[in-house]
Amino acid sequence: MQEIRRDVVFNRSIIFSPARAKRPSDFKAHQKPGESAGNPARTSCAFCKHHEHECAPEIVRVPPDTIDWKIRVIENLYPALNRTLDIPNPNNNGGGCELVLPGFGFHDVVIETPDHSVNLSDLSAKEIGDVLLAYKDRIGQLAKIESVKYVQVFKNHGASAGASMSHSHSQLMGVPFVPATVSARLDSAKENFCRTGKCLLCEIKTEELLVGESTHFFALVPFAASLPFEIWIIPRLHASHFEEIDHEKATDLGSMLKLMLLKLSKQLNDPPFNYMIHTSPFQMSADSLPYAHWFIQIVPQLIGTAGFEMATGCYINPVFPEDAAKVLREVTILM
């Protein structure tokens, strides 16, 4: 039976239209992320240790000042935005209504491991926590630049999730405006807060949707998931900005992220996926903080999206979230 659910977080509708011939567990990826046609798997690349000279300049190295690095944040060699352009004058800000602005902004790459063959989920919880702390450090640097209004952290894994490099990496973009999806999410949270006095994510119902729990986080398939097997990892305690995370929470989140990626990999045959950190813009008024709650969205790319989604912003999901959560909950992972 088809159903239309309201996604109150992103303020959009999702159509659930179960593919009757398929069980949820049949939505497996057919192709390994590294194996795209005409692109034979390589064994080294510019992101590997000892290839640093092939990369754009380095911004952060972990640990600092050693050739034996574990993580590097570097400039993107082909950036979507240009960090050297004139910074837009914050006093000459037409409220985001300008039709044309200089393409100023930051586009960094986070190399998560020096080893070409290691995936993020192969790292330990502490090592993944260190990648999250590298995001935090770089976001902290960008927060000091007044013209940067928002930072989007994202990871593309596998060619059909948009990755052009197979070496494990993620990206950060610091943009001089608040993107429309971010504004829509905050407007929806504000509307709910004004009506109920409560934060949407502090109050989110888990019940049949829960996939995992840790000391500081829980993971669920959202009630109105846009795509099959989408997962959100949400901090238990209300926090508006990802970059407020401390070392202990970063390791705990590293463990939760690893568990969720391994569950997706085991149940769905190592699918291509994206994750995104949905945090809050830098310059938010104090009265906005009580309803702005950051979270991580993980989306395996199993079905592709096309004209209807582009035209309407409304996704058609063939797997009910309760069924996806059951499939993910039931698989045991030894870590």
Site residues, ligand AMP (CB under 6 A): 46, 54-56, 74, 76-78, 109, 156, 162-165, 169, 171
SS3 label, residue 116 = coil
Residue 9 or 74 having the CB closest to ligand AMP: 74
Residue 49 or 83 having the CB closest to Zn ion: 49
Q: Residue-wise over 44-73: b if at least 16 C-beta within 10 A, else e?
A: eebbbbeebeebeeebbbbeeeeeebbbbb
Are the beta carbons of 59 and 73 closer than 8 angstroms? Answer: yes
Q: Select the residue interacting with Zn ion from 9, 74, 139, 201 (CB under 5 A).
A: 201
* Segment (H or E) for 137: helix 125-143
Shortest reach from residue 154's CB to ligand AMP, in Å:
8
Residue 48 or 134 having the CB closest to Zn ion: 48
Q: Which of 107, 116, 169, 241 is catalytic?
A: 169
Give the contacts of 37 (CB within 8 A, at least 6 positions apart): none
201 binds, among ligand AMP, Zn ion, none (CB under 5 to 8 A by kind): Zn ion
Contact mark string toward Zn ion, 65..104, x via CB under 5 A:
----------------------------------------
Shortest reach from residue 51's CB to ligand AMP, in Å:
8
Residue 293 catalytic? no
109 binds, among Zn ion, ligand AMP, none (CB under 5 to 8 A by kind): ligand AMP
Closest to 130 measured CA to CA, from 204, 194, 69, 65: 69
Quick check: 110 binds Zn ion (CB under 5 A)? no
**Number of amino acids touching Zn ion (CB under 5 A):** 10
Written as one string, the DSSP assignment of 64-109 is TT-SS-SEEEEE-SS-SSBTTSPPPPGGG--TT--S----B-EEEE
| H helix intervals, 232-330 | 247-268, 307-312, 321-330
SS3 label, residue 141 = helix
**Tally of residues, the chain:** 335
Q: Which residue has the tokens 């330990």?
A: 124
Q: Select the residue interacting with Zn ion from 8, 15, 45, 314 (CB under 5 A).
A: 45
Structure tokens at 302: 């199993």
Shortest reach from residue 55's CB to Zn ion, in Å:
10
Q: Select the residue interacting with Zn ion from 12, 70, 72, 116 (CB under 5 A).
A: 116
Residue 7 or 108 having the CB closest to ligand AMP: 108
Site for Zn ion in 209-238 (CB under 5 A): 238
167 binds, among Zn ion, ligand AMP, none (CB under 5 to 8 A by kind): Zn ion
In the sheet with 3-7, reading across from the earlier edge strand, the strands are 3-7, 12-16, 315-317
Quick check: 199 binds Zn ion (CB under 5 A)? yes
Give dist(CA 147, CA 144) in Å, integer: 9
Q: Select the residue interacting with Zn ion from 101, 202, 276, 303 (CB under 5 A).
A: 202
So which residues are the catalytic ones? 169
List residues binding Zn ion (CB under 5 A): 45, 47-48, 116, 167, 199, 201-202, 238, 293
